[in-house]
């Protein structure tokens, strides 16, 4: 599998985002909140990354954290089960809930942990 992050894997539709936040399951893996929703009408997983402006006023800080989360996801997304027997795919959301910036290694371990939890669903 190629370790890329193409546009089709980005969650951008407002209807889908609303569905994810209304019906999705949430897990807190501090400093990240992980939200997931299994769906069956799509051919691939879609993911959303968010850092609240309330916690990080400068766009530079928000963009850096989002970039770190995207990179960690991109490197470890191959661990998500793609060919399940029920053809179930996921809508995923990663929200950074920490108050301070953290090291990339910590973000990477939390994203990897969230993906392993996704395997159990």
pLDDT at 74: 95
Phi–psi pair at 71, nearest 5 degrees = -65, -45
Find the angle CA(35)-CA(40)-CA(44) to the nearest 5 degrees: 70
Number of H helices and E strands in the chain, helices first, is 3, 4
pTM, full prediction: 0.93
> Could you tell me if 114 and 29 are in contact, meaning their C-beta atoms sit under 8 angstroms apart?
yes
pLDDT at 84: 61
Separation of alpha carbons 76 and 65, rounded Å: 17
Encode the chain (121 residues) as per-residue pLDDT tens digits. 678 999 999 999 999 999 999 999 999 999 999 999 999 876 789 999 999 999 999 999 999 999 999 999 999 998 887 766 667 889 999 999 999 999 999 999 999 999 999 888 7
Beta strand spans in 1-121 (E): 25-29, 32-39, 46-50, 89-96
For the chain, the average pLDDT equals 92
Separation of alpha carbons 100 and 121, rounded Å: 31
pLDDT tens for each residue of 9-34: 999 999 999 999 999 999 999 999 99
Separation of alpha carbons 39 and 56, rounded Å: 32
From 3.20.20.10, 3.40.50.800, 3.30.230.10, 3.40.50.880, which CATH number describes the 7-119 domain? 3.30.230.10
The residue behind tokens 């807190």 is 28
């Amino acid at each position: 599998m190629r370790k890329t992050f193409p546009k089709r894997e980005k969650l951008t539709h407002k209807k889908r985002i609303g569905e994810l936040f209304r019906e999705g399951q949430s897990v807190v893996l501090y400093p990240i909140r992980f939200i997931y929703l299994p769906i069956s009408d799509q051919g691939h997983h879609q993911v959303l990354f968010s850092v609240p402006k309330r916690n990080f006023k400068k766009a530079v800080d928000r963009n850096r954290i989002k970039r770190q989360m995207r990179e960690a996801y991109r490197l470890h997304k191959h661990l998500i089960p793609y060919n399940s027997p029920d053809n179930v795919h996921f809508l995923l959301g990663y929200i950074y809930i920490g108050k301070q910036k953290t090291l990339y290694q910590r973000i990477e371990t939390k994203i990897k942990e969230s993906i392993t939890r996704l395997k159990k669903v």
